[in-house]
Structure 1
């Protein structure tokens, strides 16, 4: 597998100065020093197991900073990285950048044995990341003509980036921009549908690729191989109905039992169908990887003998959506502290901001969750707002103006997209500051 380029040693030509991790905004291609994250070492402790100590210690660590204050708990992040490796059982893990959006964290993960390559969400992002990482798969097809032109004009970037395709029209677009004889070879990955076409329940999964049946996937593969200027290097099949849906939602026993039944049968069908596709593709091309899964399906996906790597992302920062799975218990590594700015009623405290909603079906699972103090909840008719979020409950009476409330977001990317930096906290002290994509002046989607 291909890993990111090694960083120069401190003091060498072109190396960054000896600074705390994330001190200042990095120059293009340089990046903050991230070795101090030490994601390969065990967590010193598991302080999140005692919420009554954990959250107040984070409050104390960032009390001098103005809200919103986004925090990464270093021990929690270390725990999640190592736990994902444990769950993968030796299969390489590709990092879904959408759920991180912090280059220093991506860099640190790629230095950790077991993590290999990035799963990007747009081609412009992939072009930026490929300056430092030699293996970037764009997770979704792209029709960004300017970004495609950049890719097709640069031999080095073209060797590092793999485009996602599920339709020959996507190849036609590439050829219309630069014909095969005048561009580098374009690496492509075939995206095949991993949903379950259940006999009674119908479509279960995410609507992505039109290629469901093995013969559909193999037919497009043959057309790719017949066209000059392209090379087929991988297959991706994302089982969102397993990876992205919890099966241990509190207070929902019947729904959990139904979901476990659906996921078991869906995985059995997918394992058989994916195996047929992979065997057929390997007779046609020398595949470098077969990618599947997500944070919520690491164990199930890893048992499929066709899989060579698993994509993970949200399980590293661990939004609250991932508290609802039986198979694992991630640590709450990322959270944001917001200030109370008004008290409309004795039992209501209103914080500034907070309504950063996760993607997916609208509902309670996609809104932020109050992590601390306990005894607060959203107002059902108002919810979480972009500029203000009123909270009610027993704890509201004890909150004064300028008091702090901690929120965890449902996934991870929505938090990184709304703040410029994360404070890295270890043992109750801020030990580094890491810029997000936004903090580096980047907004991709």
Structure 2
């Protein structure tokens, strides 16, 4: 198998010809839909391979190799291990013009496999790439479509590494979708998983500031001379209680989670070292940063009260999701076409932040982005990040719904590449939103 180990390169396309080649919008739509339908076997196969072989962030070697092999077998040139990340890849088709990117996630969760449905995310993005690549070939218009492998979304911040490597510098739109359980309405969530009635075109997420904190005290015999010690366990307990009291003065959408990673070894020795991990979330990156300062004031106070030293170790930060409204509208319109007939909710008046966090939020701070949601059949209580949702994500019904979303994303991508006025409106929306958030990553 030939793999091109170089920067992003233009691919040669071995696409199946299923429609008359034309620039006509309706014919291009048919080209996209028929192409995606024509790859039914390959899409089901890659979905199953990813689902059956769950891998944690930055260890998704089988998923990476299987997707690269699939793309190569279909006639595309691929850059494996792209952007300096071992389990990332890049594939590009087209020349000149604007650039549309589809992000493919494929990392799993410890012990419960694909309980966030990233096998479906990868499948939908691969299918969208194939559909839009066929449209470009059919039209002979300038423009490029890329498929990025984006590992380690579950806390590892894979997209942050791609941003730092310049992967999105020339991109005009970046799209992906995420599965969740069916819910009555987007505003009725209780904090579990994705809140999707049948499908959402517009939805946000919480910014998330992640860090570790350590307290270092002084050991002493807990019975003979406790007064000679400095108790790091007291520091971590006091800090936890302080943060718990802080919650009374936080906003309803603020979230503070922590876990004690190291609380000491034996009870008869004054604990000299403790370590905790914190997630601090809020509606925007700016608000999360302000909340983080208040949390750290509690942690610093505990160090002062107990005479311990305190140190912080920053993990990473996920920005809040800033969906581009024009792209959201394009996707909603595409999903309502008779040839797709899967309408989704696109409610810009819903200002309630979504309950989760994603590194696609960081992408949305640097380029116009889309992160839609779609519901898959699940029994009550089978939320994202539960074993019940893992079972749901592996069904044929879930696969079929992921493929349906891919058609809407591909058609939206075509509009970005082929219509100047649409592209201008997308960037107008993006620049307006950037002025509103007033935060640089």
Q: TM-score, normalised by structure 1?
A: 0.27
User: If you compute each CA radius of gyration, which structure gives the higher value, 1 or 2?
Assistant: 2
